[in-house]
Structure 1
Amino acid sequence: MVFKRLLGTLGVGGPAVDTELDPGVPAPGSDLTGQVRLTGGNADRTITRLTLELVARVEIEGGDEESEGLVALERFTVAEDFGLAAGERLDVPFAVPLPWETPITALHGQSLGVVLAVRTELEIAGAKDKGDLDPLAVGPLPAQEAVLEALGQLGFGFASADLEYGRIGGTGQLLPFYQEIELTPPPRHQDAMRQLEVTFLAHPGGMEVVLEADSPGGLFTSGHEALTLFRVSHTGVEERDWNAEVDGWVRQLAATLGTRTAPAAYGHHGSHGDHSHHGHHGHHSDGGHSRSGPGVGTAVAVGAAGLAVGVAGGLVAAEAVDEVGDFFEEEEEG
């Protein structure tokens, strides 16, 4: 989406901004490219600073209350101290790196309901004005897609995705929030877990994959939560048996919950030298909490494309798109 706005803070007749992102869906760690198109107002101006801010809609929990707000991932200064004549049109190209922990907003072309955006800020003589939010779509890294595909092949279905404010202890997390992709388990794992939550924490050398689940509990017993953490490399993705490997991860998590699952659908192999460790409930800190329950819709169909949305998931995808669109309309009205 292209946004265009007369900068009200800078007064009537001030410069107008039109920021365009290049076509395509970048992945975490890659460059976000595009250009900022400036149109001069009714007088010559000196632009002090032109800044791009990457923001995300994040859920913030405090006690029994939950709220949502925009949290910045990163800010980039793309130009400084340049002149813009009255009525002049000036294009400022940019290429800025997305943080490695940037959340995934789409899988196989389907929205997950996660809201990321780019906001442009123009500063003139100490006065600042922020433009409208421009939606940003981010796709998975090869290793992230491989893990999600394997979970789909193992029978897990997509339920929801959200961003939680807080940190996961024992990880190298850098951003003040993390993404949770919630999946519904197949029948053979339903005795062990009610849902599976996946978090990716990528970095230049690889990524940490955090799997969290809670046991259903019994008639006279309450369920409990557990997590496991696995580290994988960005290299050699195509050479690994992801179905067998991820199946082993899920079984390790189920064992941590203290519940046996049905026989494996795929043969179990090792983790190819990657390390893992176990944890238990309480790993979230700084006010962050895991969240269960309905998000952008119910579980979607799972087929040969893993977690790709099938015919039965069409309504889910539409709900996710509507939710994102409504959010931007509310922000603009605000």
Structure 2
Amino acid sequence: MVFKRLLGSLGVGGPAVDTVLDPIAAVPGSTLSGQVHLKGGNADFTIDHITLELIARVEAEHEHGESEGSVAFERFTVGGGFRLAEGEHRAIPFAVTLPWETPITELYGQPLGIVLGVRTELGVAGAKDKGDLDPLVVRPLPAQEAVLEALGQLGFGFKSADLEYGHIRGTGQQLPFYQEIELTPAPAYAHQVKEIEVTFLANPAGMEVVIEADKRGGFFSEGHDAVSRYTISHADVPHRNWNAEVDVWIRQLVEHRAAYASHGSYGHSAPYADKGHGGHHGEGHGHRSGPGMGTVVAAGAAGLAVGVVGGLVAAEVIDEVGDFFEDDENDGGDED
């Protein structure tokens, strides 16, 4: 274990902390468990509280362009109210529930370029001090996996994924940001669509799926965005033909038709007015069978080894992850 010594407000000789997550696949809405390991310093300290923060690297658009920053999107107090003796070792187990809208960081074991972390904060001697920051890996829910796999089967390819600060209007979004998974168009739609972006907003009953198409302009018209929203039930996932369902969604989106079909026991699809930065409804038809999104993403991950996949440069992804954890840890002290 690598302990993070708390220096900021306590001085040299303060307690150290190391949080170890259990090696169990995390999915949105599931339990995240592990242990917070404490090592006493060169004196006795009262531990007021032990808090875990979920942190995400998020992009934000503003009038001067784009910027990136860390956003804490959930906090859990998992212990505290005890005396940690000089040199004492203590382990505090925890089990917390991830928000349903927690972004997914990998698909079929392949990273998507999303950076999440679990940061440990200790309240000691009336002050708060950061401990270690651990990477958090989140896999998709069955509903998310089903939709992405269908898109892959229909010929769409993985391009990139990011987290956007802001809210999607007309949805039940809870977190201060949303995840966009960008896909290259299937050949049947390539002449009409530049790319599509998929956002999942999960909840205990099911999931909202927001799909935005960046439509190409015609000879006498400019390109524009077309956006639609659908709801599906978790219980329906094993019983749907997702290739057929998603194919209908895409055709409705690009053909500028209202989408009102039922997709689950708790909701219906509805036309979507705006995605926070403008949106319409959009055209095209037909599809082909493809390798599936799992194969597409796996091929993309293999491509990272040689440098470029769908516009993602391997070095940039690695630097982003490294900088995120390095910068945050530099705020919290040294490692033992």
Point out the more displaced range, 140-149 or 323-332: 323-332
Within-5 A mapping of 1:286-325:
303-304=291-292, 306=294, 308-311=296-299, 313-316=301-304, 319=314, 320-321=317-318, 323-325=320-322
SS at match of 1:173: coil
Are the structure 2 counterparts of residues 192 and 179 from structure 1 closer, same or farther at C-alpha, using a change threshold of 3 Å?
same
1:6 equivalent to 2:5? Answer: yes
TM-score after normalising by structure 1? 0.86
Looking at structure 1, the residues matched to 60 and 264 of structure 2 have their Cα atoms a distance apart, in angstroms, of 37
SS at match of 2:192: coil
Q: Is the 8 A contact 1:14 1:41 kept in 2?
A: yes
SS at match of 2:46: strand
Match of residue 276 from structure 1: 269
Within-5 A mapping of 1:147-158:
147-158=147-158
Q: Is the 8 A contact 1:215 1:257 kept in 2?
A: no
- Cα displacement (A) at 1:237: 1.3
Looking at structure 2, the residues matched to 312 and 55 of structure 1 have their Cα atoms a distance apart, in angstroms, of 26
Q: 1:114 is matched by which residue type in structure 2?
A: I
Q: Is the 8 A contact 1:227 1:253 kept in 2?
A: yes
Within-5 A mapping of 1:228-307:
228-256=228-256, 271=263, 275-280=268-273, 282-284=274-276, 303-304=291-292, 306=294
Are the structure 2 counterparts of residues 3 and 228 from structure 1 closer, same or farther at C-alpha, using a change threshold of 3 Å?
farther
- Cα displacement (A) at 1:324: 2.0
Looking at structure 1, the residues matched to 204 and 262 of structure 2 have their Cα atoms a distance apart, in angstroms, of 24
What CA deviation, in whole Å up to 9, does each residue of 1:58-85 have, x standing for no partner? 0011113211111111000001211110
Are the structure 2 counterparts of residues 257 and 180 from structure 1 closer, same or farther at C-alpha, using a change threshold of 3 Å?
farther
Are the structure 2 counterparts of residues 312 and 110 from structure 1 closer, same or farther at C-alpha, using a change threshold of 3 Å?
closer
Paired residue total: 308
Q: 2:96 is matched by which residue type in structure 1?
A: V
Are the structure 2 counterparts of residues 303 and 133 from structure 1 closer, same or farther at C-alpha, using a change threshold of 3 Å?
same
SS at match of 1:100: coil
SS at match of 1:60: strand
Structure 2, unaligned stretches of length 5 or more? 280-289, 308-313, 332-336
Looking at structure 2, the residues matched to 154 and 65 of structure 1 have their Cα atoms a distance apart, in angstroms, of 34
SS at match of 1:133: strand
- What CA RMSD, in Å, does the superposition of the two structures yield over aligned residues? 2.3
Match of residue 96 from structure 1: 96
Within-5 A mapping of 1:1-334:
3-9=2-8, 10-256=10-256, 271=263, 275-280=268-273, 282-284=274-276, 303-304=291-292, 306=294, 308-311=296-299, 313-316=301-304, 319=314, 320-321=317-318, 323-333=320-330
Match of residue 287 from structure 2: none
Q: 2:297 is matched by which residue type in structure 1?
A: V
Q: 1:325 is matched by which residue type in structure 2?
A: G
Looking at structure 1, the residues matched to 216 and 32 of structure 2 have their Cα atoms a distance apart, in angstroms, of 42
Looking at structure 2, the residues matched to 42 and 237 of structure 1 have their Cα atoms a distance apart, in angstroms, of 55
Alignment identity in percent? 59
SS at match of 2:297: coil
Q: Is the 8 A contact 1:59 1:164 kept in 2?
A: yes
- Cα displacement (A) at 1:95: 0.4
Q: Is the 8 A contact 1:192 1:257 kept in 2?
A: no
Q: Is the 8 A contact 2:151 2:292 kept in 1?
A: no
Match of residue 262 from structure 1: none
- Cα displacement (A) at 1:257: 7.9
Looking at structure 1, the residues matched to 83 and 177 of structure 2 have their Cα atoms a distance apart, in angstroms, of 38
Looking at structure 1, the residues matched to 15 and 298 of structure 2 have their Cα atoms a distance apart, in angstroms, of 46
Q: 2:41 is matched by which residue type in structure 1?
A: G
Q: 1:316 is matched by which residue type in structure 2?
A: L
Looking at structure 1, the residues matched to 232 and 270 of structure 2 have their Cα atoms a distance apart, in angstroms, of 13
- Cα displacement (A) at 1:21: 0.5
Are the structure 2 counterparts of residues 126 and 309 from structure 1 closer, same or farther at C-alpha, using a change threshold of 3 Å?
same
What CA deviation, in whole Å up to 9, does each residue of 1:170-209 have, x standing for no partner? 1000001000000001110112211010000000011100
What CA deviation, in whole Å up to 9, does each residue of 1:22-78 have, x standing for no partner? 103210000110000000001111100110000100001111321111111100000
Q: 1:145 is matched by which residue type in structure 2?
A: E
